[in-house]
Each structure stands twice: as C-alpha cells, then as structure tokens.
Structure 1
Amino acid sequence: MRKILVWDLPTRLFHWLLVICIGGSWISAEFNAFDWHLRFGYATLGLVLFRILWGLVGSETARFTSFVRGPKAIWHHIAELRQPGRLSPHVGHNALGALAVLGLLSVVGVQAVSGLFTSDGILTDGPLVDRVSGATASLMRTIHMNNFDILLALAGLHIAAILAYALFKRLDLVRPMVTGRAPLPGNIPAPRIVSLVRALLVTALSGAAIWALVSYG
C-alpha cells in the first residue's frame, strides 16, 4: 500500500467551497441577509458550472466518464457492501458515489438557477425575474423553496453514507477529500492529474459566464 494523489486540488476546492456556499445561502436566508444570499447563490451557480466543465476536461478521477456507470456496476457495489470486511480498493468515486455526485449537482443546480428568477415580492428580486412572467416567477419561487428541502435531505443522506462507510467498512472518505491522497495497492496506477493552468482557465470561463448572465441576462 502507498498513498497516491487521487483528488486534484480543483476538485477538493470545489467540494469544500460548495459546502460553504450552501451553508452561507441557508444562514443568510434565515437572517434575511438577502444581499449575501444572492452572492452565495451566484457563487454556487459558478461552482456547479465549473464542476460540469471539470467533469469533461479535468483530471481522470474528476471526469464523468471515469465514474458514471450503469445499473450493473451499482448493484455490484451494493452486493460488495453486504459482504463482511473491507471493500476492495477503488480509485475515485464508486458507483453509489457517482449517483451522489450527479444527484447533488442536479439539485444544487436547480436551486441556484431557480433563484435567478425568484422574487420575495418586497425587497429582493433575482437578476432575471423581469425576464419572465409573474406566474413563472411564482413557480420558480415555489421550486426554490421546496427544492431546498430536497437538497437538505440529499446532503443528510450523503453525510450518513460517509459515516456508514467509516463505521462499517473502515473506509475514510473525508481525509482524501482534504489531502487529496488515499492508500492504494502498488499494482493500481495513479490517476492522471491535469495541470492547474487548465483549472484556472475553466474557473475564468465559469466566472465570466455567471457574470455575463447576471449583468446582461
């Protein structure tokens, strides 16, 4: 066994920044700090866009083609979970982890996009609320409010799964997402990690797209 770099820095930063933005969005809404709520929302949308692009051109373990699998792989992993003892070594997301990534990205994306068209009818409007009818804005507000409950449920399930892997399979999923490194057998090759320059370009593209959407949408 040796520790190898499994998660690149951009993927790890995305993960923890998304946690901060979701938490910040929640807290700012609870305290009616809607200027900050909008800022956290824009940042969240930018992070989602970055992750989608990074899933296409990023490092090997970040790419969707490396971890999104069909039902057969999912059932195989579930069967493996039912067996006693440790799991076999795996580089990157397992089949259930892939579902978590896709599910959370989808729900967070819906939350951020619906917020662009949402108005509280008093003080705060989303930047694109004037582009849609009142009925559409009302629908978007309903989606924005109800979808957050789904997001909280998925986040809770995600945390519960991490705890279950640690308790029952002695697999630490948190430390590798902090350090980037995980212990793997010597016969498993290290995944390909791309240059940080590519991550900076994707970050700039994502930021510019969100800025243009908010400013000129």
Structure 2
Amino acid sequence: MNTTATTTAKTVKVWDIWVRLTHWLVAIGIFVNLTELIEEGSTWHEYVGYAVAALVVSRLIWGFIGTKYARFSDFFPTPRRIKNHLTGFGKQGTHLGHNPFGALMMFALWGVIIALGVTGYLMGLDAYWGEEWLQELHEILANSLYLLIPLHVLSAIGMSFVEKQNLIKAMITGNKVDLSI
C-alpha cells in the first residue's frame, strides 16, 4: 500500500448494528445446534432453530429497508457485478460492502437456514410426524452447513488478505477503511 493511500484513507461505518448482531447471533445459534450443546430434537434445539430462522428472515427484510450497505441493492450478485468482481479481483477498494461472491454465500447460508427452520417445523406437525424423507432432508441441510460455514470463514480470511482489510474485525466493529480514495 502506498503512503498516499494511507494518509487519505478514511474509516467508514459499513455494517450497522443489526447486520452485525444478526450475523453473530445466527453464528452462535448454528454452533449450539450443530455441536449438539443441546440435544438434537429437544425443545431447546427447536427454539434455537426457530430463533436462528427468524433472525435470518429479519435480516432479509433489513436487506430491503436497512442502511446503505445492508441493502441488497448495494451488493446483489448480478452477472455484471460478478464479472466486474472477477476482472477487478485483488484491487483495493473494489467493494466497501459485501462483494458478489460474499453475497452468493450469504444467500446460500440463509436459504439453508430457512429450509432447516421449515423442515424442522414440518417434522413437528401431525401430517409429517415420523416422515423419514423429511428427517433426511433436514439432516442433509444441517450437514451442508459443515461445508458452507468453513468455506465462508476461509473466504472471509482470504479476502481479508486480498483486500488488505480485516473483515472479521469489520464484522465486529462495523468499520472498514475506504481504500478507493
């Protein structure tokens, strides 16, 4: 990084408190349910699952009404944005908010989490009680998180080096350094 960029770079509040709070509460809830800190299928497992799904739904709503960098309009992964991201890969200041691949990961994680909530709910209904296919689908969805979560974490760490930004710290503080100036 050149010294001119260092002296003119400014800190920007990118991720608001709701983005950060939902991110970390979802992470904690998923950790609790996947590591079986509470018994699988127990009432607490269900409550944590529903709470996590509700947090994701609230974050989806926030994607339409929230702050600038929380809105889908800022980071929705259109083909053009994906192409621009690939051609500008490694350039500092390309994305102050989420990049298109980060957005794809978010949507994949959110889709799985909501599907887990729905399948978990359906398993408790009389109409689906004991349905093996539904239990298997729920388990497949849960197991997919064992792939998606490490990919998400490793990507955040990798992009921290590429973008010369501490993305994990930014998801705690909400602040990033605008290197595009």
Report the TM-score range of the alignment, normalised by the length of the smaller protein. 0.7 to 0.9
Paired residues of 1:28 and 1:34 also in contact (CA < 8 A): no
TM-score, normalisation: structure 2: 0.85
Aligned partners of 2:164, 2:179: CA distance in 1, in Å? 16
Aligned partners of 1:169, 1:59: CA distance in 2, in Å? 23
State the 4+ residue runs in structure 1 displaced beyond 6 angstroms.
Answer: none
Match of 1:107 among 105, 112, 125: 112
TM-score, normalisation: structure 1: 0.72
Paired residues of 1:28 and 1:36 also in contact (CA < 8 A): no
Q: Tell me, what secondary structure is at the counterpart of 2:11? A: strand
Change in CA separation of 1:10 and 1:66 when aligned onto 2, cut-off 3 Å: same
Alignment of 1:53 with 2:58, yes or no, is no
Q: CA deviation at 1:75?
A: 2.3
Any gaps of 5 or more consecutive residues in structure 2? 1-8
Deviation string, structure 1 residues 50-106 (Cα, Å, up to 9, x no partner): 11111111111111122103122112212322x5xx423422111111111111111
Paired residues of 2:77 and 2:101 also in contact (CA < 8 A): no
Aligned partners of 1:162, 1:4: CA distance in 2, in Å? 19
The aligned runs of 1:1-217 (5 Å cut-off) are 1-28=9-36, 31-32=39-40, 34-81=42-89, 86-118=91-123, 126=124, 129-130=125-126, 132-133=127-128, 137-184=131-178
Q: Tell me, what secondary structure is at the counterpart of 1:117? A: helix
Q: Which one-letter code corresponds to 1:155 in the other structure?
A: I
Q: Which one-letter code corresponds to 1:18 in the other structure?
A: V
Q: Tell me, what secondary structure is at the counterpart of 1:113? A: helix
Aligned partners of 2:134, 2:41: CA distance in 1, in Å? 20
Aligned partners of 1:167, 1:110: CA distance in 2, in Å? 33
Aligned partners of 1:15, 1:55: CA distance in 2, in Å? 13
Q: Which one-letter code corresponds to 1:2 in the other structure?
A: K
Paired residues of 2:32 and 2:38 also in contact (CA < 8 A): no
Q: Which residue of 1 aligns with 2:5?
A: none
Percent identity between matched residues is 29
Q: CA deviation at 1:181?
A: 1.0
Q: CA deviation at 1:16?
A: 0.2
Aligned partners of 1:30, 1:186: CA distance in 2, in Å? 46
Aligned partners of 2:38, 2:44: CA distance in 1, in Å? 11
Number of aligned positions between the proteins: 173
Any gaps of 5 or more consecutive residues in structure 1? 119-125, 188-217
Aligned partners of 2:56, 2:161: CA distance in 1, in Å? 30
Aligned partners of 2:163, 2:128: CA distance in 1, in Å? 51
Aligned partners of 2:177, 2:94: CA distance in 1, in Å? 9
